[in-house]
Amino acid sequence: MSDYFRNTVIKKLNNGDFDCTKEFTVSMFSGKHKLLILWILINNGPQGFSYFKKNLKGISKKVLSNQLNELIDDQIIFKQDFFTGKVRHTEYQLTAVGKSLIPIIVALNDWGENRLKQVMLVKKFNSDL
């Protein structure tokens, strides 16, 4: 776990000091790429590590691995290994908890699209003045 905020929340949970559901929720998504990982799984179904590496520009293998492991620890995704002969293929997919986030993540995406349109309209309006 590389994220200070996430580590703090986990420490509070383990000590029985936890009292803020907002902190708990945000800690599960702290990390630059977690929502993007979930968005890929929502839209494209189960994927392997190399698919994420290729489609998440600028992410290192270490960061990707950490973020996938944190999502696994939080029971939002799970990892399944398949063997084709002697070749192992790993696939990540949403758990039931992860699937329960779909409407929330879709709503966040919709909000972002609408907000972007508003910002672009304001920019266009200001540049036309």
Count of positions (residues) in the chain: 129
Instruction: Kindly report whether the global pTM for this prediction surpasses the value 0.85.
Output: no
For residue 84, pLDDT over 80 is answered with: yes
- List Cβ neighbours of 91 (8 Å cut-off, separation of 6 or more): 46, 47, 48, 79, 80, 81, 82
Instruction: Report all structural domains of the chain as residue ranges with CATH numbers, in order of start.
Output: 31-128 (1.10.10.10)
Cα–Cα distance, 50 to 79 (Å, whole number): 14
Q: What is the pLDDT of residues 18-54, one digit of tens each?
A: 676 777 777 778 788 999 999 999 999 999 999 999 9
Position 129 confidence tier, pLDDT thresholds 50, 70, 90 = low
Tell me the pLDDT of the chain averaged across its residues.
87
For residue 119, pLDDT over 60 is answered with: yes
Residue 32 DSSP SS3: coil
Give the pLDDT of residue 25.
78
